[in-house]
A and B are shown apart, each in its own frame.
Chain A
Amino acid sequence: MSNKKRGFLEMPFGWMFALIVGGIILFMAIYFSIQFIKTERTQEDVTRSREIGIIMNPLEISFEEGKSTLLELPVDTRFYNKCDRYGDFGRQLIEVSQLSLNQWSKTGLEVSFKNKYIFSEEAAEGRSFYVFAKPFEFPFKVADLIYLIPKKGEYCFVNAPSNITQEIKDLKFENIINVTNKNFCDKESRKVCFSGTGCDINVNVNGGRTTRKEGNKINDVRFQGNALMYASIFSGTEIYECQVKRLMLRVQNLAELYNTKAIYLSTKDCDSNINLIGLIQSANDYNSSKQDLPEMVLASNEAFIQNDKLNCRLW
């Protein structure tokens, strides 16, 4: 009887042992495979973010007035545009999420750049994006602003000034149309009015002011020049304000650079003595476009006039 019982227990124990250990091995294999796939996705997203940043290099710091390129990605991609306004120059942060097996990857990892200024919606989605750049001068060249627009998101410009209409035509955007009446706009398109109100985005070119509907709120930002005007159209208020703050930080640093250059030039019988302190101070105190941009414009114009009169121009 006792032998029978032992014989009876012998097989199940062997099986049980094999099943438990085998189960553990299988569990570990599945666990590590899932972890590996997650890491692969993260790596791919971070690489893509870095690539997008690098691809944008030729667009900026170029001599061309306006230049556009179509950025085509292999899969549907969400481009999260984030901005950090703190530090000497602030930071442009890019996070990319890609569609894989009907699911958006979410890495939470951002790639940062100190010398880039990208204007787009906070989360731009698509497989193809129009990217174009415009130089921003205040009063010296400060940076090239980069605009990123998903190809599938249509914009309808109503009564845009002729120079803007021409520029949009030259840039060959398929998703931006120029019309004379907002009734001609597609229902799904984002309407941008250049005279009058009642559109999603209303631009007052002469007054340097853009208002836009964001949820239940209507936000109001100020701009100076076409580069910032496009920025105020193609980006959300939060991104716009943060990037303009970063641009003012760069204005401050460049003005300090020109001040130091003036000291070098003074030893070479060159009259380069201009007062950039006002511009540096205003740039340092800059907080928001609505509050501080008009004052900055005055300081910038003053510096421009002074530089133009110099024997040895600083810029």
Chain B
Amino acid sequence: MNLDINQMANKKSQMKIQQTAFMLLGVTLFFALVGMAFVGLKLSGMKGEANDLKKQNAQLLVSKLANSPEFSCGDSFYTSKSNCIDADKVMALKAQEVKYSGFWGTSNIEIRRIYPKTNGEVNCTKTNYPNCNIIALHAGRVGTYEENFVILCRKEAKNGVSYDKCEMAKLMVSFENVN
């Protein structure tokens, strides 16, 4: 009879410990889940913020890039023009694009001639330039992009005389969103 009472008391205390253990386990799991959900939310917020910063950078860059030394016409065409891109210089830049990788952040750059209009899309290379309409630096246009209208000027020659030729183009700065 004494043994039965002892066994009963043992079982009762074991049950209590198990109850406490389960309760603590439940509480831990609950907080872990809440924590994970919170971290997930924060991470998506961070990604959003990173994408916003990339977009802001592209917007500000596209509005000013044409005037940077690697792109701008300078005084090559005898008068300083704002938002004027020297196509001959950009082709020289294209030949050294590996060196300039990441120079303007993570953005990719593309210059697309829009007027006079040409049929189809022809990427400019050393061999077909200037009979082409797209100068792509790095990956060209990828993902999301921002654009700005620019003047695209180059030197041309006719009957042994060189002259300036300026056309309308779009400067595009694109970036890949963080997923």
Does B160 sit within 8 A of A, measured CB to CB? yes
Q: Which of B24, B96, B104 contacts A18 (CB 8 A)?
A: B24
By a CB distance below 8 angstroms, the chain A residues around B74 are: 140-141, 313, 315
Asked if B64 and A314 make an inter-chain contact with CB atoms under 8 angstroms apart, the answer reads no
With both beta carbons as reference points, the residue of chain B lying nearest to A144 in the complex is identified as B68
Q: Which of B31, B68, B96, B129 contacts A29 (CB 8 A)?
A: B31
Q: Tell whether A142 pairs with B69 under 8 Å between CB atoms, given A312-B155, A313-B76.
A: yes
Report how far A254 CA is from B72 CA in the complex, Å: 12
Does B6 sit within 8 A of A, measured CB to CB? yes
Asked if B75 and A313 make an inter-chain contact with CB atoms under 8 angstroms apart, the answer reads yes
Report how far A62 CA is from B89 CA in the complex, Å: 19
Q: Which of B70, B82, B102, B155 contacts A254 (CB 8 A)?
A: B70
By a CB distance below 8 angstroms, the chain A residues around B104 are: 115
Does A108 sit within 8 A of B, measured CB to CB? no
B49-57, B115-123, B134-142: which lies at the interface:
B49-57
Report how far A63 CA is from B83 CA in the complex, Å: 10
Asked if A257 and B9 make an inter-chain contact with CB atoms under 8 angstroms apart, the answer reads no
At the interface, is chain B mostly helix, strand, loop or mixed? Answer: helix
Report how far A27 CA is from B46 CA in the complex, Å: 27
Asked if A257 and B96 make an inter-chain contact with CB atoms under 8 angstroms apart, the answer reads yes
Which bucket holds chain B's interface residue count?
35 or more
Does B20 sit within 8 A of A, measured CB to CB? yes
Total interface residues on A, CB under 8 Å, equals: 53
With both beta carbons as reference points, the residue of chain B lying nearest to A253 in the complex is identified as B99
Q: How near does chain A come to B106, taking the closest CB pair, in angstroms? A: 11
Asked if B49 and A47 make an inter-chain contact with CB atoms under 8 angstroms apart, the answer reads yes
Does B162 sit within 8 A of A, measured CB to CB? yes
By a CB distance below 8 angstroms, the chain A residues around B46 are: 43
Asked if B162 and A140 make an inter-chain contact with CB atoms under 8 angstroms apart, the answer reads no
Q: Which residues in window 257-315 of A have CB below 8 A to B?
A: 257-258, 260-261, 263-265, 268-270, 311-315
Q: Tell whether A115 pairs with B103 under 8 Å between CB atoms, given A268-B156, A312-B76.
A: yes
Q: How near does chain B come to A145, taking the closest CB pair, in angstroms? A: 13
Report how far A254 CA is from B24 CA in the complex, Å: 67
A53-61, A78-86, A207-215: which lies at the interface:
A53-61
By a CB distance below 8 angstroms, the chain A residues around B105 are: 113
By a CB distance below 8 angstroms, the chain A residues around B155 are: 265, 268, 270, 312
Asked if A17 and B76 make an inter-chain contact with CB atoms under 8 angstroms apart, the answer reads no
Asked if A269 and B160 make an inter-chain contact with CB atoms under 8 angstroms apart, the answer reads yes
With both beta carbons as reference points, the residue of chain A lying nearest to B91 in the complex is identified as A264
B residues with CB within 8 A of A: 5-6, 9-10, 13, 16-17, 20-21, 24, 27-28, 31, 35, 46, 49, 53, 56-57, 60-61, 63-65, 67-70, 72, 74-76, 78, 80, 82, 86, 88-89, 91-93, 95-96, 99, 102-105, 129, 155-157, 160-162
A-B CB contact pairs (8 Å), 28 listed: A3-B6, A6-B6, A14-B16, A18-B20, A25-B31, A47-B53, A54-B60, A57-B64, A60-B64, A63-B82, A113-B105, A114-B103, A253-B96, A256-B96, A257-B93, A258-B89, A260-B96, A261-B88, A263-B92, A264-B88, A264-B129, A268-B156, A268-B157, A268-B162, A311-B162, A312-B76, A312-B162, A315-B76
